Amino acid sequence: MIRLKVNRRSNVLLYAEMIIALLFFVISFAVIIRVFASADSLERRSRQRQSAALCAQSIAEAYSVSGDVQKAVSLALGADLRDFTGSAEIGLDSGFYPADSSDVILRLDEQKQDTAAGIYSELVVEFFDNSGDDEELIYSLKCGAYVPGGAAVG
Amino acid sequence: MKDHRARSMGDTASAVGSMLLFVLFAVCMLMAVAVAADTYSRIKTGYQQSFGTAASIKYISNKLRAAENVTLLEDGSAAAIESAGTVSVIYCGDGGLYEKNTVPGGELTADGGELISAASSLEFSEHDGLYEITVDSGVSSSVILVRKG
């Protein structure tokens, strides 16, 4: 009778130890998964930022040559920006190509200043991540173009 | 006899329970290792690709910005960029981006250069006062516009 009781007690202790060990491993597993998920999302964000920087740089270079937002966007992204009136929004896919279902949103905002020597225009290029619930800024760039009497100079 | 059988059943149940817990733990660990390996390989591949094409594009665009004279060679698959008394011939071949430095007036051929970074193709074109550079890493490609002059 005493032996049976001792055996039962040792079984209970063994189970308790196993459950504690399992709990420890489950918690470790959850932590590891969280770490890898955040590493994966960081890598995606880094790649997105790199593509956004290249796109913004291309738009800025084309804008500084032409001083025309529509032409700059057409040259850099192949997007058709009709009826541009100072600001516009373009939907892009994950590869930064114009698309209807937009993972990334490109916002353009142009301000023109009439100066005595000509027109100085400033363009703000902003990329937002639209894949989550809230829009999140990926990359932003401000560029300018100076148009002295018709012909643009960067 | 009955007591002995009950004890034996209890021992078996205990052993099976322990085994099941161990199997659960082993499966969890295998899943963790598989997920970790997949994530790590994705991060490594993505980093190599984006770093390779971005580094190549930035290197070439900086060279073009500092250039005094640019000549496109071999239908735009290579370029001779002259700056500060040196001509750099940049071209793509054997899975990499190569650069050969020579003197102005020297032979401009796309061979015998030094490896800069990994790339599967390179293309230069010029239009609307801009150079368009496309670098392909095999899986992804990057394009950038750089103004002339």
Interface test with B, best of A17, A19, A61 (most B CBs within 10 A): A61
Please tell me which residue, B13 or B132, carries the higher pLDDT value: B132
Q: Which residues of B touch A51 (CB under 8 A)?
A: 142
Inter-chain contact A40–B42, Cβ cutoff 8 Å? yes
Find tokens 């009497």 and name the residue: A149
3-state secondary structure chain B: CHHHHHHHHHHHHHHHHHHHHHHHHHHHHHHHHHHHHHHHHHHHHHHHHHHHHHHHHHHHHHHHHCCCEEEEEHHHCEEEEEECCEEEEEEEECCEEEEEEECCCCCCCCCCCEEEEECCEEEEEEECCEEEEEEECCCCEEEEEEECC
Domain ranges of chain A: 2-147
Inter-chain contact A40–B39, Cβ cutoff 8 Å? yes
Of the candidates B89, B34, B144, B125, which has an alpha carbon nearest to the alpha carbon of residue A32? B34
| pTM for the full predicted model | 0.76
Q: What is the mean predicted confidence (pLDDT) over A8-35?
A: 81
How many Cβ atoms are within 10 Å of A97's Cβ, its own excluded? 12
pLDDT band at residue A109 under the 50/70/90 scheme: very high
- Residues B59-84: pLDDT tens digits? 899 989 888 888 888 888 899 999 88
- Residues A42-91: pLDDT tens digits? 888 888 898 899 999 999 999 988 888 898 999 888 888 887 888 899 99
- Residues A112-125: pLDDT tens digits? 888 887 888 999 99
pLDDT band at residue A39 under the 50/70/90 scheme: confident
* Complex-level ipTM: 0.73
Chain B closest CA to A47's CA: distance in Å?
A: 7
Q: Give me the pLDDT at residue B141, please.
A: 81
Domain ranges of chain B: 56-147
Q: What is the mean predicted confidence (pLDDT) over B92-118?
A: 86
Chain B closest CA to A135's CA: distance in Å?
A: 24
pLDDT band at residue B99 under the 50/70/90 scheme: very high
